Structure 1
Amino acid sequence: MTGSSIIVMGVCASGKSTIGQKVAAKLGRKFIDGDDLHPKANILKMASGQPLNDDDRVPWLERIRDAAFSLECKNEHGILVCSALKKKYRDQIREGNKNVTFLFLNGDFSLILERMRDRNGHFMKENMVKSQFDALERPDHEPQTLVIDIDGEVSDVVALAAASILEAEQRGA
């Protein structure tokens, strides 16, 4: 079996990093937080309250794609975190990778806004929640994509996500 990547995706405050880390630990996989792969210019732009545009995202998505490719080539299995809000972003990540599955953390606007207000110390600002939902192209019917509802306890979401990943891998999805 070759290496594989699960890209945990969704809007800000959907729990990508928390769920991604916990699922990686539960399944014994490498964890890579896509926030750590942003170029400096992107971090500074978001920290000033400005949403990224498509041009800003290109080098970041290349880094995500390359990390997935590296895992695949080294026969490793990893969980990567990346918002991947638009289909073209997901397609860029899929490019040249054979074993990438997206795990979409699904939550409505009011739940995400409530979680955003509870966060401290993150560079995303509350006013960017709307821009995230405006940019989101739901991946509901895309191949190799799992949709997980996040309205529940973190432990329940992690258990559901891990079980869905294992089930999809057994099916060969």
Structure 2
Amino acid sequence: MTGDGDSAVARPTRHVVVMGVSGSGKTTVASGIATATGLTFAEADDFHPAANVALMRAGVPLDDAHRWPWLRDLAAWMADRAAEGTSTVLACSALKRAYRDVLRQGPPRLDFVLLHGPAEVIRERMTRRTGHYMPASLLDSQLATLELPEPDEHVLTLDVSLPPEELVAAAVRALNLAGRKGPLLSDSV
């Protein structure tokens, strides 16, 4: 509500998927974007059914049959939030173009941020983290599955070697999310 008697005009929602292989920092960067902007954060891994989690915990890569229902659920979650007027940021691997295309069927506008860089950096991060069901042994299968975005996909690619706070700031700036809410509000012009 504007407070001047005009009827409220709904602000278009924004939806961002921070993507990359396991260990690239998707969750850290996506949650950082949420903190800086007020977008609602979700971790795509939380949408996996127990059977998928059990396979990954056992070191078995998921195949497309396991992924399609999960991807459709993620797209529906974002579409539902858009219908409510809520903007979102999702940490999701989205390794193949076909997966990204399914996600694009959700909200009316979807931006992608790819965290990409040297396998050695990612592998080292994976070996340090605790409590995550994705073992470092699956990194090679994820790298083999990764289809780098084509130019027509308009995906923002950031170097995974940068510190998380720099990645968050770069994504917020490049996607013009500054000024929505949070600590980066003062950086907006």
Q: Normalization by structure 1: what TM-score?
A: 0.91
Q: 1:149 offset after TM fit, Å?
A: 1.3
Return 127-136 or 75-84, whichever deviates more: 75-84
Mark the CA change 1:151 to 1:98 in structure 2 (over 3 Å): closer, same or farther.
same
Partner in structure 1 of residue 25 of structure 2? 15
Mark the CA change 1:45 to 1:159 in structure 2 (over 3 Å): closer, same or farther.
same
Q: Normalization by structure 2: what TM-score?
A: 0.84
Counterpart CA distance in 1 for 2:161 and 2:174 is 16
- 2:128 aligned with 1:118: yes
**Structure 1 unaligned runs (5+)?**
169-173
Q: 1:61 offset after TM fit, Å?
A: 0.3
Q: 1:2 offset after TM fit, Å?
A: 2.6
Mark the CA change 1:101 to 1:164 in structure 2 (over 3 Å): closer, same or farther.
same
Mark the CA change 1:149 to 1:140 in structure 2 (over 3 Å): closer, same or farther.
farther
Partner in structure 2 of residue 134 of structure 1? 144
Counterpart CA distance in 1 for 2:177 and 2:71 is 27
Partner in structure 2 of residue 91 of structure 1? 101
Mark the CA change 1:140 to 1:109 in structure 2 (over 3 Å): closer, same or farther.
farther
Partner in structure 2 of residue 31 of structure 1? 41
Counterpart CA distance in 2 for 1:58 and 1:35 is 14
CA RMSD of aligned residues (A): 1.6
Mark the CA change 1:52 to 1:93 in structure 2 (over 3 Å): closer, same or farther.
same
- 2:160 aligned with 1:159: no
Q: Report % sequence identity.
A: 35
Contact 1:107–1:151 (8 Å) recurs in 2: yes
3-state secondary structure, aligned to 1:166: coil
Mark the CA change 1:156 to 1:91 in structure 2 (over 3 Å): closer, same or farther.
same
Q: 1:97 offset after TM fit, Å?
A: 3.3
Counterpart CA distance in 2 for 1:98 and 1:90 is 14
- 2:73 aligned with 1:78: no
Could you tell me which of 54, 60, 66 is aligned with 1:44?
Answer: 54
- Count of residue pairs brought into register by the alignment: 168
Moved over 4 A (4+): none
Contact 2:42–2:89 (8 Å) recurs in 1: yes
Larger of the two Rg values belongs to structure:
2
- 2:13 aligned with 1:3: yes
CA deviation map 1:133-154 (0-9, x unaligned) = 0000011514342111121211
Partner in structure 2 of residue 149 of structure 1? 159
**Structure 2 unaligned runs (5+)?**
1-10, 179-189
